[in-house]
């Protein structure tokens, strides 16, 4: 049948008002157009929907049964339109972000503060895991965006937007602060205990690539998953750590950490925002993306 939503809407309003004239006023179309629409609908359905009376129209028995279903359908459509408008206006919704604990605190938190201030009714879910697992969740539609350190091997179905750059460095606590006054090579670092993140982290992979590019192998004395613990262990003098300079400003200012002058210079690297190529980001996700990319 070639029945469209407009025909059902006309039927619904006529049934509610019980009057062609009132329905025409509510729908802002002519009475003849209303009558023609009802006639076409009855012809396509193969039966009468209304009986005309002196006071207007009443539903037939079949029309009442038909109306009960159309009423539900119209209600669902109206609710869907209202929900979509609320989502679009960020009055309701949930944003699901995949990100490491370190990037939440050091990179994402200021943007989340702005986002929550503007859109307090949007729920925020933070998913922390290794990047490969976060990408799997992104592809499966379980999260909206992934924020990760770069560089990283990118699956074909995920696109990456670089939104910031950071500088990594070797650092020491007070115990080894005398090293900060010296010029060091990568080979010099072999004389001291080293504290690195484990090999699953993007930061460690970046470090290993940098070392391999310079034909140097460094074996850490301590390896751990947490970037924060690398910093804590370095501060108390357990060895030389590998840090992100932008994330240790307070420790550097307080004299708890010292940057080593190591050659060759470590290249800068990026922070990226990953999205699925096969799923459009939600309105709330797009709002956060705009804050991160345009207001940092």
Q: What is the pTM of this model?
A: 0.72
Predicted confidence at residue 150, as pLDDT, reads 93
Whether 94-163+272-294 shares its CATH topology with 168-267 is answered yes
Predicted confidence at residue 247, as pLDDT, reads 95
Provide the residue ranges of all domains of the chain, joining segments of one domain with +. Answer: 5-88, 94-163+272-294, 168-267
CA distance 133 to 139: 10
Please choose, from the candidates 232, 285, 67, 259, the residue with its C-alpha nearest in 3D space to the C-alpha of residue 167.
259
Q: Is residue 245 a contact partner of residue 108, using CB atoms and an 8 Å limit?
A: no
Would you put residue 58 in left (φ > 0), alpha (ψ -120 to 50) or beta? beta
The answer to whether residue 81 scores a pLDDT higher than 90 is no
The answer to whether residue 86 scores a pLDDT higher than 80 is no
Predicted confidence at residue 89, as pLDDT, reads 77
The model's confidence at residue 82, banded by pLDDT at 50, 70 and 90, is confident
Number of Cβ atoms within 10 Å of the Cβ of 41: 19
CA separation, residue 66 to residues 12, 41, 155, 167 (Å): 10, 12, 50, 67
Output the CATH code of domain 5-88: 1.10.10.10
Predicted confidence at residue 276, as pLDDT, reads 92
Sign of CA dihedral 143, 294, 84, 92: positive
Output the CATH code of domain 94-163+272-294: 3.40.190.10
pLDDT, tens digit, 9 for 90 and up, residues 7-31:
999 999 999 999 999 999 999 999 9
CA separation, residue 16 to residues 21, 29, 46, 263 (Å): 12, 16, 22, 81
pLDDT, tens digit, 9 for 90 and up, residues 66-79:
999 999 999 888 88
CA separation, residue 110 to residues 37, 107, 166, 274, 296 (Å): 56, 7, 16, 19, 9
Q: Which residues have C-beta within 8 Å of that of residue 140, sequence separation ≥ 6?
A: none
CA separation, residue 224 to residues 20, 105, 217, 235 (Å): 75, 18, 18, 15
Q: Tell me if the domain spanning 168-267 has CATH number 3.40.190.10.
A: yes
CA separation, residue 112 to residues 1, 116, 119, 285 (Å): 50, 6, 10, 11
Predicted confidence at residue 1, as pLDDT, reads 60
The answer to whether residue 3 scores a pLDDT higher than 70 is no
Q: Is residue 259 a contact partner of residue 270, using CB atoms and an 8 Å limit?
A: no
Q: Is residue 276 a contact partner of residue 158, using CB atoms and an 8 Å limit?
A: yes
């Amino acid at each position: 049948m070639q029945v469209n939503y407009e025909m059902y809407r006309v039927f619904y309003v006529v049934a509610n008002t019980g009057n062609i004239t009132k329905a025409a006023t509510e729908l802002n179309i002519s009475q003849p157009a209303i009558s023609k629409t009802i006639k076409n609908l009855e012809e396509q359905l193969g039966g009468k929907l209304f009986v005309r009376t002196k006071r207007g129209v009443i539903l037939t028995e079949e029309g009442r049964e038909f109306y009960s279903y159309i009423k539900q359908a119209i209600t669902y459509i109206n609710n869907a339109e209202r929900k979509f408008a609320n989502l679009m206006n960020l009055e309701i919704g949930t944003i699901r972000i995949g990100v490491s604990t370190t990037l939440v605190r050091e990179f994402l938190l200021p943007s989340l503060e702005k986002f929550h201030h503007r859109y307090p009714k949007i729920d925020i879910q933070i998913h922390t895991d290794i990047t490969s697992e976060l990408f799997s969740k992104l592809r499966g539609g379980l999260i909206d965006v992934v924020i990760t350190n770069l560089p990283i091997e990118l699956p074909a179905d995920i696109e990456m937007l670089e939104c910031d750059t950071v500088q990594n460095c070797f650092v020491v606590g007070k115990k080894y602060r005398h090293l900060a006054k010296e010029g060091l090579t990568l080979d010099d670092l072999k004389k001291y205990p080293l504290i690195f993140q484990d090999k699953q982290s993007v930061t460690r992979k970046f470090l290993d690539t940098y070392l391999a590019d310079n034909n140097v192998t460094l074996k850490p004395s301590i390896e751990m998953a947490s970037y924060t613990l690398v910093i804590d262990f370095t501060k108390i003098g357990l060895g030389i750590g590998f840090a992100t300079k932008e994330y240790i400003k307070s420790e550097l200012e307080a004299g708890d950490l010292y940057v080593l002058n190591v050659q060759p210079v470590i290249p800068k690297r990026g922070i990226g925002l990953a999205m699925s190529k096969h799923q459009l980001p939600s309105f709330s996700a797009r709002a956060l993306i705009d804050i991160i990319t345009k207001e940092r």
